[in-house]
């Protein structure tokens, strides 16, 4: 393998004097927090793109470094605070809709069970049905039905 | 730890951290109070209803709760009367009053009346009327003096803490079974002893792991 292709090219790195010159202008927020950030000032981005095209897109957002601890905490804080907000909504209002004429033998809130039949291949098939307020929720074969 | 303030920061800047802290705490306290105030709990707030049904007027006639809330002893759901129940009386009484028009309309068209729910637990909570009634917990303990309400309103928050206040010490609330529908019942002076006796009689298992088990209400 040709080793020279891994050597940083001369326009990529930063010389000490270049770094000094940059930092002399920097104040407050603009100071560097890490060597990576300092390095990213020069032509580091260009080098990244050239050498590692896949990763380059991730790191490209130069002044909004995705692995920045503060941004991470800021985002997490915001999502936590917003998650808490969901508990601040009121329950939506519900209606109770009773019968006009209640069927006999129905106890609201309790299921009813019927032995009934349905037609399958031209024959009546005995089934047991569970019904909640008129809605069938379970149907199974009736073991006592003569056709079984 | 990194320095928070630059050495040149003055007292105002330093004080700001205290102020921010106070604002955050103040906000949380306000939120907490709001959820406990009627704004959040809706305790004592009457709901608009299609017909201004008054328990006060109907209970004065001495109708039993079970005439309308038929399934309260047998089911998780207390039951809301069908239009037919109202028409039993109102086909004669007040038969031409305009406020009863929705009732007659429902009777004619077969469309149900739609009442606005006053007591509404979240869907993830299991509640059951029949067990409470069977173990000597009266309607008025949870719903207050419904018989004195012109429009139905909530008397208690129905928050989890409220349920647990009783599940921790049901002896403070349990009453003789024949008083369950008695709206005017108040605990006697010796409730502490009577209550314990009644719990024994009703075979209530007051062991905390059962009455306070999360699975009891969240299933």
Q: What is the mean pLDDT of residues A97-112?
A: 89
Q: Which of B40, B75, B115 sits opposite A108 (nearest CB)?
A: B75
Flag if B82 and A97 touch (Cβ within 8 Å): no
CB-nearest to A100 from B31, B110, B122 is: B110
Per-residue model confidence as pLDDT tens digits over B90-131: 999 898 889 999 999 999 999 999 999 999 999 899 999 999
Task: Give the C-alpha separation, A36 to B61, whole Å.
Answer: 84
Instruction: Answer whether B116 sits within 8 Å of A99, measured CB to CB.
Output: no
pLDDT above 50: residue A5: no
> Is B117 in contact with A93 (Cβ distance < 8 A)?
yes
A97 vs B: CB within 8 A? yes
Query: What is the average pLDDT across A70-93?
Result: 74
DSSP string, A57-100: HHH--TTS-TT-HHHHHHHHHHHHHHHHHGGGSPPPP-EE---S
Is pLDDT of B139 > 60? yes
- C-beta of residue B78 within 8 angstroms of C-beta of residue B72: yes
CA distance B62 to B40: 34
Q: Are residues A71 and A48 in the same domain?
A: yes
- Among candidate residues B128, B109, B102, the one with its CA nearest the CA of residue B48: B102
Q: Does any domain span residue A93?
A: no
* Per-residue model confidence as pLDDT tens digits over B53-97: 999 999 888 899 999 999 999 999 999 999 999 999 999 989 888
A101 contacts chain B (CB < 8 A): yes
Q: Which of B77, B82, B117 sits opposite A99 (nearest CB)?
A: B82
Give domain status of residue A65, yes or no: yes
Cβ–Cβ contact A92 with B under 8 A: no
| Chain B residue set in contact with A, beta carbons under 8 Å | 31, 40, 70-71, 74-77, 79-84, 106-107, 110-117, 120, 122
Whether residues A29 and A60 fall in one domain: yes
Q: Please give the pLDDT value at position B71.
A: 94
Confidence band of A2 (pLDDT split at 50, 70, 90): very low
Size of interface A-B (CB pairs under 8 A): 68
Shortest Cα distance, chain A CAs vs residue B191, angstroms? 33
Q: Where are the domains of chain B?
A: 8-36, 55-80+119-217, 82-114
Check residue A105 and report its DSSP letter.
T
CA distance B92 to chain A (A): 18
Comparing A71-75, A115-119, A132-136, which segment has the lowest mean pLDDT? Answer: A71-75
Shared domain check, A106 and A75: no
* C-alpha span between B208 and B112 (Å, rounded): 43
Enclosing domain of residue A84: 3-88
Verify that A83 and A106 share a domain, yes or no.
Answer: no
Can you tell me the ipTM of this complex?
Answer: 0.76
Assess if residue A141 is contained within a domain: yes
Q: What is the pLDDT of residue A9?
A: 46
The answer to whether residues A114 and A140 belong to one domain is yes
Query: How many whole angstroms separate alpha carbon B157 and alpha carbon B45?
Result: 11
A148 touches chain B (CB under 8 A): no
Query: Considering the domain boundaries, does residue A134 fall inside one?
Result: yes
A96 falls within a domain:
no
Q: Do A105 and A55 have their domain in common?
A: no
Identify which of A30, A96, A147 has the alpha carbon closest to the alpha carbon of residue B152.
A96
pLDDT of residue B118: 94
* Number of domains making up chain A: 2
Closest residue on chain B to A107 (Cα): B71
Examine the domain organization and report whether A80 and A136 are in the same domain. Answer: no
Contact B163, B217 (CB under 8 A): yes
Asked whether the beta carbons of residue A96 and residue B110 sit closer than 8 angstroms, the reply is no
Output B18 or A146, whichever has higher pLDDT: B18
Say yes or no for a CB contact (<8 Å) between B77 and A93. no
Do A55 and A127 lie in one domain? The reply is no
Per the CB < 8 Å rule, is B76 touching A109? yes
The verdict on A63 touching B (C-beta cutoff 8 Å) is no
Q: Write down the mean pLDDT value for chain B.
A: 91
């Amino acid at each position: 393998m040709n080793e020279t292709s891994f050597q940083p090219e001369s326009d990529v790195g930063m010389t000490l004097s270049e770094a000094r010159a940059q930092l002399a202008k920097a104040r407050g927020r603009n100071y560097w927090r890490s060597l990576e950030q300092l390095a990213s000032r020069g032509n580091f981005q260009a080098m990244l793109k050239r050498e590692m095209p896949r990763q380059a897109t991730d790191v490209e957002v130069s002044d909004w470094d995705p692995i920045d601890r503060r941004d991470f905490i800021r985002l997490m804080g915001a999502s936590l605070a917003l998650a808490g907000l969901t508990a601040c909504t009121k329950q939506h209002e519900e209606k109770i809709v009773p019968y006009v004429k209640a069927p006999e033998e129905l106890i609201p809130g309790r299921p009813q069970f019927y032995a009934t039949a349905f037609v399958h291949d031209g024959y009546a098939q005995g089934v047991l049905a569970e019904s909640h307020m008129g809605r069938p929720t379970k149907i199974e074969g009736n073991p006592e039905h003569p056709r079984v | 730890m990194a320095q928070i303030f630059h050495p040149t920061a003055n007292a105002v800047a330093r004080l700001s951290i205290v102020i921010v802290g106070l604002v955050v705490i103040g906000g949380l306290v306000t939120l907490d109070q709001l959820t406990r105030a009627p704004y959040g709990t809706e305790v004592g707030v009457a709901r608009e209803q299609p017909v201004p049904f008054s328990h006060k007027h109907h209970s004065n006639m001495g109708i039993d709760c079970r005439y309308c809330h038929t399934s309260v002893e047998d089911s998780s759901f207390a039951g809301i009367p069908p239009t037919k129940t109202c028409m039993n009386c109102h086909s004669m009484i007040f038969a031409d009053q305009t406020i009863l028009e929705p009732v007659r309309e429902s009777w004619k068209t077969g469309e149900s009346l739609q009442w606005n729910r006053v007591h509404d637990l979240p869907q993830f909570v299991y509640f059951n009327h029949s067990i409470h009634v069977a173990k000597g917990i009266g309607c008025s303990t949870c719903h207050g003096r419904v018989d004195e309400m012109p429009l139905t309103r909530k008397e208690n928050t129905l928050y989890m803490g409220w349920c647990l206040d009783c599940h921790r010490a049901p002896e403070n609330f349990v009453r003789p079974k024949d008083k369950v529908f008695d709206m005017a019942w108040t605990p006697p002076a010796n409730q502490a002893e009577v209550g314990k006796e009644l719990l024994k009689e009703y075979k209530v298992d007051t062991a905390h792991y059962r009455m306070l088990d999360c699975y009891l209400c969240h299933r």
